[in-house]
Structure 1
Amino acid sequence: MKLRKGYDSENLETANAQTRYQVSRDDLPLACPTPEMYLWNSHPKVYLPIEDTGEAKCPYCGAQFFLKEDP
């Protein structure tokens, strides 16, 4: 049986466990919660504009995202 996202056996991060996240251009478009987080105990998915300034803050949980520059 195929599991859906959010089951314990997927080794996902607890949603909103951190307040600062570094993301790369490969992670765009950026959304909070990220695909690596459990969804059942989080807020609705929101897309965050980060491309122009290199920073974005989630209006729901306050998590701050920073775009790391490619080498």
Structure 2
Amino acid sequence: MSQLIENTQKSIEVTADDLPLHCPMPDMQKWNAHPRVFLPVAKTGEARCPYCGTLYTLKGGALAGGHH
């Protein structure tokens, strides 16, 4: 079992494997801290959660073409 991440971190780097990205992520301790919101990190390379303010950055930047 993977270790749970405390979702008090304000900046998290994610990979294409995490897409479609939503906050809170399933491996966070407080996965029900706020309503799940999907974030368009693939389009711009980064996205901020409107509920908790966590900044998600896509490793390698925005993806060109395709849907993830």
2:34 match: secondary structure: coil
Please name the residue that 1:25 is paired with.
16
* Aligned counterparts of 1:51 and 1:13: Cα–Cα separation in 2: 22
CA distance in 2, matches of 1:11, 1:20: 18
TM-score, length-scaled by structure 1: 0.74
Give the corresponding residue for 1:45.
36
- Measured after TM superposition, the shift of residue 50 of structure 1 is 0.8
Computed over aligned residues only, the root mean square deviation of the Cα atoms, in angstroms, reads 2.0
The number of equivalent residue pairs is 60
- TM-score, normalising length from structure 2? 0.77
Gapped runs of 5+ residues in structure 1?
1-9
What are the superposed Cα offsets for residues 5-56 of structure 1, whole Å, 9 maximum, x if unpaired?
xxxxx74223x2200000000100000000111324x111110001111000
Name the residue aligned to 1:35.
26
Determine the structure 2 residue equivalent to 1:13: 5
Q: For residue 68 of structure 1, what is the aligned residue in structure 2?
A: 59
Report the counterpart of residue 46 of structure 2 in structure 1: 55
SS in 2 for 1:51: helix
Match of 1:5 in 2: none
> Which aligned segments of 4 or more residues in structure 1 are displaced greater than 6 angstroms?
none
